[in-house]
Amino acid sequence: MSEGGIVRVSRHSSIHPHTPPRVDIRPAGKADLLTRSRGLTARDAEVLSYLARHRVLTALQLARLVFGSYSHARSRLAVLHERGVLARFRRDIWPGSQPWRYTLGPIGAIVHAAATGAALPRPATVTETVLRLAHSAHTEHRLGVNDFFATLAGHSQHHDGRALGEWWPENEVGATCAGIVRPDGYGEYSDHDRTLGFFYEYDTGTETLDTLVEKVGKYAELADAGICKPILFHLPSASREHHFHAAVTRRWPVKPPVPIATMPADQLAPPGHHIAAASPSIVDALWRPIGHTRRRTLADLAPRTTRQPTARTDAA
């Protein structure tokens, strides 16, 4: 079955890895630019900004980030695609189909470049970029990372006092870390009086545990260089989590060199089309700090803000 976010393929479904993805790009020439770019709204510009920065998003992810409604997002994205503002692609699965993956089309790339003062790309260059993205083995990993942050944004929309204040993609946060380590993302999530700034690692189980442990060592080097933030590891299963905790503890028996918390994805509620994800979700008590047995909510990983007492002045 397909759904609006990341595809969860059941044991009865399969993706055909050797089948080329279906890529849908509306061609556009110079004469089309003014006609097709007319009527773009501020919300459309926000969609273009997200796609320019994070490359690829599904309709559900964009609903959580921008539209606030899954049906509205699907309707508007279809219009933007027809006008060449967006391009889209997906792979065949059996049975069913993947949700469309949206990225900038020729018109959208030119409009966004003009709005931000960047060099205007040629339509052929945009088409090449879309094709590379559609065929890249890294794209599904990127979508998994984006899904985490989009889910945080959707949750924040439905709960007062909560907000996703920052979301940096891999290329931006990697440059900030001076090449010492390359996190999958950086975020700042606020829940009333608590704000958690964190590095995010989206693990799909393809890397060895030794590789993950070496990443922790790189984060320790980064902390020694003056940048120390908690690392959140999104792991595919409770079994993978157990073995990762054991591997880190063997390497650092007393305590890990940096704060680390893990969450097993197989404990999450089944995905749906709601803007706020069903419980248990990534904000709930699924996070286990290394060295501890009790799981915590995402907000509980953040330090509490301690207010200084206000000095009283008695009237003379």
Q: Measured between alpha carbons, how far is 123 from 121 in angstroms, rounded to an integer?
A: 6
CA-wise closest residue to 289 among 247, 255, 316: 255
The Cα–Cα gap between 261 and 106 comes to 41
Q: What would the pLDDT profile of 179-193 be if each residue is shown by its tens digit?
A: 999 999 999 999 999
Average pLDDT for 210-225:
98
Dist CA 181 CA 177 (whole Å): 6
Domain boundaries, the chain: 14-136, 140-301
Q: What is the largest CA-CA distance in the chain?
A: 85
pLDDT band at 2 (very low <50, low <70, confident <90, very high): very low
If you average pLDDT over residues 10-24, what whole number do you get? 65
What is the crossing angle of helices 42-54 and 106-116, to 10°? Answer: 100
Residue 236: is it exposed, middle or buried by C-beta count within 10 angstroms (0-12/13-18/19+)?
middle
How remote is the C-alpha of 113 from its chain's centroid? 23
pLDDT at 145: 98
Give the pLDDT of residue 7.
34
Average pLDDT of the segment spanning 99-107:
97
- CATH number for the segment(s) 14-136: 1.10.10.10
pLDDT of residue 5: 40
Q: What is the mean pLDDT of residues 33-57?
A: 94
Task: Give percent of the chain above pLDDT 90.
Answer: 79
What sign does the dihedral 214-146-52-15 (CA atoms) show? positive
pLDDT digits (tens, 9 = 90+) for 165-175: 999 999 999 99
Mean pLDDT of the chain: 90
Tell me the chain's radius of gyration from C-alpha atoms: 21
What pLDDT is recorded for position 16?
A: 55
> Smallest Cα–Cα separation from 130: which of 143, 139, 119?
139
Residue, of 107 and 12, whose pLDDT is higher: 107
pLDDT higher than threshold 80 for residue 249: yes
248-271 average pLDDT score = 97
What mean pLDDT is predicted for residues 112-141?
96
Residue with tokens 């440059």: 175
CB 164 within 8 A of CB 149: yes
Query: What is each CA distance from 180 to 16, 203, 209, 223, 248, in whole angstroms?
Result: 36, 19, 19, 10, 19
Band (pLDDT 50/70/90 cuts) for residue 303 is confident
Closest CA to 63 of 72, 51, 55, 54: 72
pLDDT at 34: 79
User: How many other C-beta atoms lie within 10 A of the C-beta of residue 133?
Assistant: 20
Residues ≥6 apart with Cβ < 8 Å to 248 = 213, 216, 256, 260, 290
